[in-house]
Amino acid sequence: MPLKEYSLPEEVWIHAFTFLSTRDKHSVRATCRYFREVLDKNVYLWKDFSVVLNDFSRYNRGFWRTLARRNVRTLVLREGKKKYLRPLPDALPSVTGVAVDYWSEPQPLDTLARFSKLTSLSFYNSQCPLDLCPLLQLLSLQVTRLSVCNVKLRSPTVQFISTVSKMRNLTQLLHHHDGTERIPLRAFHDLLSGLPRLQHLSWEMVAHRSLPDNFFSPPSVQQQLEGPRPLPLSSLELLNYDTLVTREALAPLAGLRRLSVLHLYSVPGPQCHLCTWLLALPRLTHLSVHGGHRLGAWADCLPRSVVGLTLCVDLTLDDLVALGARLPQLQHLHLEPWGATGYVALVPELFPQLRTLKIRHHNVPESDFLGLALLDKLHHLEVLDWYCGHRRPAEGHTHIRPAGGHASTSPRLSNLIAQLRHLTNNRVHITPKRQQDPLLCQCLS
């Protein structure tokens, strides 16, 4: 289209492009030279852009120049070789986060230390043992977020934990392993003592059957004089947790604000240990539970301070009614119950203060879905099964088209969304499921 046919100023197009997803920006960019130039020269339009690199042989100079212009901050390196890493720090100097997925070479990855702005680092699903200790030693004061999930290590686990313990600026640590090697308590204590800024910890618990009373209490002179010291943790995630614990063991976590308990491969025993946690955490504001015991087994133990709740558990409608009586002030709810139906109809009455809600629409009657308009404080509704026919492409990634077709919204859902927007006078922002941060591997698949 000739430039003279564009009747709108460039500033108007730029403003319109800010509302587009990364996938839609790529589609618009391919329509004509003018839109390509507008999108390429305005860096902030790509502020959330990340790229997956997995076939280095097909990337040409134009590809690297385009990425550099967009100031790419997040890289996912998949199934590559070390020789392909050498030019990356010079080609993409703005990178602050790197995730290494399904890496197939055992050589050290010390080249990653040349990213001068690198603060987030993730490794998961390695196909061969990785020697991470030399790299982590080089980045010991630079990296603030570290994730290691489903990775075989060349060094002993104790040595790896010792190396991580020296990364004193870490604020976020995720370490998930297969549970075959239990980490000694002393090494875990060294980790807690060596990371004074640690705010979020995600830890594999499958090897633990019971926690000693000093599990979260690294020994120190001050502890001997004054008792257990509170940990700086504000968020804790426990993977495959079914462990006996006492309230005394949880005393250092009294200030915890967020707790996630995920049962991915473990089947919980007859006793619900989650109750002990909930009774020991009076300041808890957000709780996420995937699997484990039915909601009715622990709902009465919930602190009334909780305002955010994620439930991917077995529950009955009676359990949900009891939850509403316990937490009528709930503001954020992610609800994916197992087997229960009719629960959406109860949400407006039980949780009138909701501001955000995440649900699935499949098998939900139209009247129940539209009844969400009664939530007069709701401003964001996330539909978890928005797309049908194909898996949704990863937001912000360069390979965004699923093989064999396109993700689509069902006509029924499109109609429901239009009606709900009309009923709420467009007050509620309705979106599909958000994509997970590639640097925070949650190992949920």
Whether the CB-CB separation of 156 and 129 falls below 8 Å is answered with no
SS3 350: helix
Instruction: Render pLDDT for 105-139 as a digit per residue (tens, 0 to 9).
Output: 877 788 999 999 999 999 988 878 889 999 999 99
The CA dihedral of 134, 136, 141, 142, to the nearest 10 degrees, is 120
Average pLDDT rounded to a whole number, residues 209-222: 80
Q: What per-residue confidence (pLDDT) applies to 378? A: 97
Q: Which helix (H) or strand (E) holds 370?
A: helix 366-370
Average pLDDT rounded to a whole number, residues 404-425: 82
Other CB atoms closer than 10 Å to residue 128's CB: what's the count? 12
Q: Is the pLDDT of residue 352 over 50?
A: yes
- Please tell me the pTM assigned to this model: 0.85
Instruction: Render pLDDT for 132-146 as a digit per residue (tens, 0 to 9).
Output: 999 999 999 999 999
CA–CA separation, 78 and 199 (whole Å): 28
Helices and strands in the chain: count of H runs, count of E runs: 14, 17
Take residue 8 and report the two structure tokens written for it: 């709108």
pLDDT higher at 129 or 104: 129
Confidence of residue 178 (pLDDT cuts 50, 70, 90): low
Other CB atoms closer than 10 Å to residue 400's CB: what's the count? 19
Task: Choose the weakest-confidence range: 1-5, 161-165, 240-244, 289-293.
Answer: 1-5
pLDDT higher at 106 or 414: 414
Q: For the chain, first and last CA: distance in Å? A: 45
Q: What per-residue confidence (pLDDT) applies to 67? A: 85
Q: What per-residue confidence (pLDDT) applies to 6? A: 59
Whether the CB-CB separation of 121 and 143 falls below 8 Å is answered with yes
SS3 324: helix
Instruction: Render pLDDT for 298-333 as a digit per residue (tens, 0 to 9).
Output: 999 999 999 999 999 999 999 999 999 999 999 999
Q: What per-residue confidence (pLDDT) applies to 251? A: 92
Confidence of residue 402 (pLDDT cuts 50, 70, 90): very low
